[in-house]
Chain A
Amino acid sequence: MSDPETFAAGPASELDGREDHAPGDAPSEDAGYWVHNANFGLALSVLLTAGAFAVVRSDLVWGPAIPVALLVLAIAQMGVQLVFFLHITTGPDNTNNVLALAFGLLVTFLIVVGSIWIMDHLNHNMMPMQQLMQMQP
């Protein structure tokens, strides 16, 4: 069994294929595999980006649905980049990374949706500023 600190000593002993992977790390496949991987990720990202700009520029999508279409394309592209650039996969060697990501997404979701929800309700339920001013003694 090799000492963990010798993994980075050379290309051959790079990584033990059985070890957990850090996010973004490139497990022991050869460089060509990772270049191919990045090419695929770039192609998909370019397609999704061009799609997002096309949705806004053309009449392809019904007006009120454009924000939803943009959100879908953005989330899809984030997923593509997580898989092809950051090498986050669903394999068992990635469980820790995926769990951390899931928690981060939960907090992100709570902050964004919670803020919009609460502030929207406040706007709805608050007396208009004009009336509020008139009530002041």
Chain B
Amino acid sequence: MSGDALPAARETLRRRGEDPHRLGHRAHGREAVAGTGRGGSGPASKRIVVGYGFWIFLLSDVILFACFFATFAVQRDATAGGPTMRALVDMPRVAAETGALLLSSYACGLSYAAANARNKLWTQVLLVLTGLLGLAFVAMELQEFVGLAGRGIVPQRSGFLTAFFGLVGLHGLHVTLGGVWLATMVAQVQFKGFRPEIMHRLTCFNLFWHALDIVWIGIFSIVYLMGASA
């Protein structure tokens, strides 16, 4: 290091040498770092603020699902002489639904990687694939519900069935509305391109879709598989 460097620059270089990947505390004030959102150098960039805000929304959505899960757990044995969970589970269908949603989540992650590389063709192909797999999931779930209703298994039958249709139906509704959002994203990427605000929306959509898959992990494990083994 040359001796005539300014003290502040020398300090920066020293820090960089000690901690090249900045795993320790970052400097405040003097060192110019685009906003980290911690008050050291102004607000964080919009990309970060939008993603973080949506993360907070998603966590509130998870809490909503927690309420439905709690209801299901409490109402589990309130079958009023009607069918139990064991009678409802159709294993191959649950496995197919799980596979469709997992692959959909995977395709969504790949589309986001393609979007970050500014590859429009792959972004669109993978987004459409995400949507088709999501649609397959919703179709299988609807078919399941219609089949159950045909056997007289409806939400009005017992407290357990109300909780079951409430929880699984709420998730299905989320996937359906997510699919509508996805369709608008495909159109926006097509006609507006990768503008900053479109990238923000893609970030949020990506988060939303992955979060739905995480909720489904809870549903297939706790509702279906535990119900089948009980």
**The residue from A2, A30, A112 contacting B69, defined by CB atoms under 8 A apart:** A112
Number of interface residues of B (CB under 8 A): 71
Among candidates B48, B74, B110, residue contacting A19 with C-beta atoms closer than 8 Å: B48
Q: How far is the CA of A55 from the CA of B98 in the complex (A)?
A: 16
Asked if B207 and A23 sit within 8 Å, CB to CB, the answer is yes
Least Cβ–Cβ distance between B110 and chain A, in angstroms? 6
Q: Does B81 contact A (CB under 8 A)?
A: no
Tell me if B116 and A53 are in contact (CB < 8 A): no
Main secondary structure of the interface of B (DSSP, over half): helix
CB of B157 closer than 8 Å to a CB of A: no
Q: Which residues of B contact A74 (CB under 8 A)?
A: 217-218, 221-222
Asked if residues B36 and A70 are in contact (CB atoms below 8 Å), the reply is: no
Task: Indicate whether B130 reaches chain A with its CB closer than 8 angstroms.
Answer: no
Contact call B70/A42, Cβ cutoff below 8 A: no
Contacts A38-B113, A70-B221, A74-B221; A104 near B229 (Cβ below 8 A) = no
Give complex CA distance A9, B195 in Å: 7
Question: How distant is the Cα of A49 from the Cα of B70 in the complex, in angstroms?
Answer: 23
Residues of A within 8 A of B (CB): 1-2, 4-5, 7-11, 14-16, 18-26, 30-31, 34-35, 38, 41-42, 45-46, 49, 52-53, 55-57, 63, 66-67, 70-71, 73-74, 77-78, 81-82, 85-86, 91-92, 96-97, 100-101, 103-104, 107-108, 111-112, 114-116, 119
A-B contact pairs, 12 of them (CB 8 A): A10-B118, A25-B48, A25-B51, A34-B109, A34-B113, A55-B225, A71-B221, A78-B214, A81-B210, A82-B214, A100-B56, A104-B59
Q: B residues touching A (Cβ–Cβ < 8 Å)? A: 22-26, 32-37, 44-48, 50-52, 55-56, 59-60, 62-63, 66-67, 69-71, 73-74, 91, 95, 98-99, 102-103, 105-106, 109-110, 112-114, 116-119, 194-196, 199-200, 203, 206-207, 210-211, 213-214, 217-218, 220-222, 225-226, 228-230
